[in-house]
Amino acid sequence: MLRTVQQSLCCHGNRCLSNFAPAQRIIGHEKNLWVEYSALAIKHKAVNLGQGFPDFTPPEFLKEAWSDAVNVPSAHWYTRGQGYPRLVNALSEMYSPELGRQIDPMTEIMTSVGAYESLYAALTAFTDPGDEVILIEPHFDSYSVVVEVCGGKPVYVPLKPDGDPTNANNWVLDKAEFEGAFTSKTKLLMVNTPHNPIGKLFSAEEMEFIARTCEKHNVIIVSDEVYERCVFPGHVHHRIANAPGGWERTVTVGSAGKSFSMTGYKLGWAIGPEELISKLQTVHQTAVYSAPTILQEVIARCVEREIELKGQEQSYHSQLSKIMEKGCSEIISACGDAGLSVVEPFGGYFILVDTSPLGLEFDTSQVAYDIQCAQWLTEHMKLAGIPLSLFFGKNKHLSEKYLRLCFAKSEQTLKIGGDIIRDIVAK
């Protein structure tokens, strides 16, 4: 005890500040996109179409699930670290037909604190210093940060428009460029479909090509599919785990927050072969041990309800895909009225808007156009969005003048946002 106290005092008897310096691995990662842009929206009292969170009231069945869950004594206790039995059983029942195999609830599923934790666990479980991780960009910001915190090297491969850029599915990988990114150091590849921020759905052919390339190089795939239930009606969500050679090398990540439109829940899961999931479990049990039990009881009930109502009108997932499509069409219509073109998405929460017709001029010698434009719109038009360049590590030129807007919002928020968009050009 005495030694500890002495060690933390410097020769002047004060606490030695150098002991308080951050570990190297977190230096350079102090800023966070969501912290910064949420604060900006609040500061300017802007309508927040920036951060991706639905602001509508919870569906009735969710409230019922909570009032029933409260009466389950074990829902208030610690639970099994790798996942609450009722939830992993329900997830196994839901995903087994979707993945075309019987998923073992005890060994092939892990629940986590949000999809964030599953992504963190997957990346830290497999990335050693010097390992290369391929990130398809634009990409969700946490991927590159976690890779760098692990001492790994993000290797960026862009999605680029091939044909009409206003169709999200035309943003594709250049096959030769993608294959050229693999080296003997490549350990892992991140995939995200439905895609944040483009709104692209990868096709079965694209998934097959990616899976075959990963198989050839014996690379692990982490597939972030948090928007899997937000695919617009008539479109199909293709899972890379279902591609030939996909299952044995893929960790598929899902999110209760996204699947039931309550992003504050922070409950997620990872599904994959035991050989991979057991490694995520090592990180998970050390970091948090388990996700909150009562939340898992509530979500188990919601998943069970979905299984029962599958394909029916009352199924929340069928409603959700229509809600998302409707929200998206509100923004498209407002942008159309304002003469702004968009990259039309087929799923997810987001749409990219091309701000060039606004004719705004900024000095871009220090700060990118889209960043200044997003800040200007938040401050002067009270419309908060996210600049696309923040989702790029290398190919920022592709982001140019795009602003990401979130359409997973209440009718009221979309109406206010839509009115502002219609007003922008007039002003």
> Which of 116, 178 has the CB closer to ligand PMP?
116
Helix (H, G, I), strand (E, B), or coil: what is residue 77?
coil
What are 423's two structure tokens? 């007003």
| Eight-class DSSP state of 71 | T
**Of 255, 355, 378, 389, the one binding ligand PMP by CB under 6 A:** 255
Stretch that binds ligand PMP, among 80-88, 111-119, 328-336, 399-407 (CB under 6 A): 111-119
Binding mask 43-62 for ligand PMP (x = CB under 6 A): ---------x----------
Residues that bind ligand PMP (rule: CB under 6 A) add up to a total of: 14
Q: Pick one of 50, 114, 152, 154: the residue that binds ligand PMP (CB under 6 A).
A: 114
- Site membership for ligand PMP, residue 116 (CB under 6 A): yes
Nearest residue to the partner ligand PMP, using Cβ: 114
> Considering only residues 84, 95, 120, 140, which one is a binding residue for ligand PMP as defined by CB under 6 A?
140
**To the nearest whole angstrom, how small is the minimum distance from the Cβ of residue 228 to ligand PMP?**
11
Strands, DSSP E only, in 232-359? 250-255, 267-271, 342-343, 350-354
Cα 98 to chain centroid, rounded: 20
CA–CA dist 416, 413 (Å, integer): 5
Which residues 20-59 are close enough to bind ligand GLN by CB under 6 A? 34, 51-52
Residues 6 or more apart from 324 whose CB is under 8 A from it? 230, 232, 347, 348, 349, 407, 408
Residue type, 389: S
Contacts of 85 (CB under 8 A, 6+ apart): 79, 105
From 86-94, 97-105, 110-118, 182-190, span contacting ligand PMP (CB under 6 A): 110-118
Query: Choosing among ligand GLN, ligand PMP, none, which partner's interface includes residue 51 (Cβ < 5 to 8 Å by kind)?
Result: ligand GLN
The one-letter amino acid at 424 = I
What's the rounded Cα separation, in Å, for the pair 222 and 426? 45
Of residues 300 and 338, the one with the C-beta less far from ligand PMP: 300
CA separation for the pair 318, 324 (Å, rounded): 10
User: Does residue 226 bind ligand PMP (CB under 6 A)?
Assistant: yes
Measured CA to CA, the distance from residue 391 to residue 111 in angstroms comes to: 27
Quick one: what does residue 268 bind among ligand GLN, ligand PMP, none, with the CB cut-off 5 to 8 Å set by partner type? Answer: ligand PMP
Select the residue interacting with ligand GLN from 92, 124, 144, 196 (CB under 6 A). Answer: 196
115 interface partner picked from ligand PMP, ligand GLN, none, CB below 5 to 8 A per type: ligand PMP
The closest alpha carbon to 99, from 259, 270, 266, 218, belongs to 270
Q: Which two tokens stand for residue 146?
A: 């976690």
Choose the contact partner of 112 out of ligand PMP, ligand GLN, none; CB within 5 to 8 A by kind. none
Calpha distance 73→250 (Å, rounded): 36
Nearer to ligand GLN, 51 or 167 (CB): 51
Task: Please identify the residue of the shown chain whose CB is closest to the bound ligand GLN.
Answer: 52
| Shortest Å, Cβ 80 to ligand GLN | 27
305 binds, among ligand PMP, ligand GLN, none (CB under 5 to 8 A by kind): none
HSE, side-chain direction, 13 A CA sphere, residue 268 = 28
Alpha-carbon distance 364 to 139, whole Å? Answer: 23
Q: How many degrees, rounded to 5, is the angle at CA 318 between CA 312 and CA 324?
A: 160
Alpha-carbon distance of 144 to 155, in angstroms, equals 9
- With beta carbons less than 8 A apart as the criterion, state whether 128 and 152 touch: yes
- In this structure, the number of other CB atoms found within 10 A of the CB of residue 391 comes to 23
In the numeric block, which tokens belong to residue 33?
């996109």
The nearest distance, CB 387 to ligand GLN, in angstroms, is 12
Please identify which residue in 48, 79, 127, 196 interacts with ligand PMP, judged by CB under 6 A.
196
Asked if 260 is part of the footprint of ligand PMP (rule: CB under 6 A), the reply reads no
Q: Quick check: bond before 197 cis, omega within 30?
A: yes
Binders of ligand GLN in range 99-158 (CB under 6 A) = none
CB-wise, 226 or 331, nearer to ligand PMP?
226
Closest to ligand PMP by CB, 349 or 369 = 349
For the CB of residue 271, give the shortest distance to ligand GLN in the complex, in Å.
20
192 binds, among ligand GLN, ligand PMP, none (CB under 5 to 8 A by kind): ligand PMP
Query: Which has the closest alpha carbon to 206: 251, 237, 167?
Result: 237
User: What are the residues binding ligand GLN (CB under 6 A)?
Assistant: 34, 51-52, 196
Binding site for ligand PMP (CB under 6 A): 52, 114-116, 140, 192, 196, 224, 226, 255, 257, 263, 266, 268
